[in-house]
Chains A and B, each alone.
Chain A
Amino acid sequence: MVAQNIFFGILATIVALSAVRMVTTRNIVHAALYLVAVLAGLGALYVLLTAEFVATTQVLVYIGAVMVLFLFGIMLTKAPLGNVMEMTGKQWPLAAVVAALLGGVTIYSLIDRFGSERLASGGPVYRTADVSDEVFSTYIVPFEAVSVLLLAALIGAIVLARKD
């Protein structure tokens, strides 16, 4: 339990600091790399929560596919790679107030409701086989809906982005 808490502390610090740097850095490629750090840290936290399949999917889909998409997006839009364009708008103090209020209210209500409730330990550990059993029995209709959604998004993206 102590080891888990230590690793949670390390990972949470990495994730939170990288997230803050991601939204404040002036270089868009650095922002993409900070996003990789956030996603990898979250993948490790999923392992800590015994969600091995979610962790694998996180690495494959986010760090593999989504980040490549983002880097292509950065390249194709010819975003300035240095500190040329001011990346943060004039309204950033107002945005910071809104985010601080939202985060403050959420954290206050979480502490108020869940206080020092311990994470259930010794409960069942769900392996990849259990997850797939659940997906292909209880959640078969949402699964098919997500398949159709992915196909529609794929075709939509091609139709939107092609030249003619």
Chain B
Amino acid sequence: MLLNQFLILGAVLFATGVYGVLARRNGVMVLMSIELMLNAVNINLVAFGVQHGVVSGQVFAIFVIAVAAAEVGVGLAIVLLLYRNRTSIDVEDFDLMRG
């Protein structure tokens, strides 16, 4: 197997996640796209760990998974709070800071 197989799959997933974050209007969908980007990073970490014969890649992938879990918890709480205050999770409705 080539190293590039995994790296290019990671790049494709990351670009897809970027598209999701920029184009989606639903707040929960934006969070899901961020999860996609974090997973793209994980596959790169594990692939490089195998390539260099070190275990650190797997350790960092596990740290990223833990941080992603924390991010989802806080992110969904914020989305719920936005829904409660504005009765909408359409990110295009949140333009209070527009100049």
Contact = CB atoms under 8 A, between A and B. Distances in A.
B72 A70 contact: yes
Interface string A117-149: 111110110100011001100110011001001
Interface of B: 1-9, 11-20, 22-29, 31-33, 35-36, 39, 42-43, 46-47, 49-53, 55-59, 61-63, 65-74, 76-81, 83, 89-92
Contacts of A78: 83
Interface of A: 1, 4-5, 8, 12, 15-16, 19-20, 22-23, 28, 31-32, 35, 38-39, 42, 45-46, 48-51, 53-54, 57-58, 61-62, 65-66, 69-70, 72-74, 76-79, 85-89, 91-92, 94-96, 98-100, 102-103, 106-107, 110-111, 114-121, 123-124, 126, 130-131, 134-135, 138-139, 142-143, 146, 149-150, 152-154, 156-158, 160-161
Given A77-B83, A85-B90, A153-B70, A120 B50 contact: yes
Nearest to A1: B1
> Closest 7 A-B residue pairs measured CB to CB?
A103-B15, A95-B22, A153-B70, A99-B19, A23-B20, A95-B23, A160-B77
Contacts of B28: 28, 70, 73-74, 77, 79
Contact of A54 (B19, B53, B61): B61
A106 B14 contact: yes
Contacts of B8: 107, 110-111
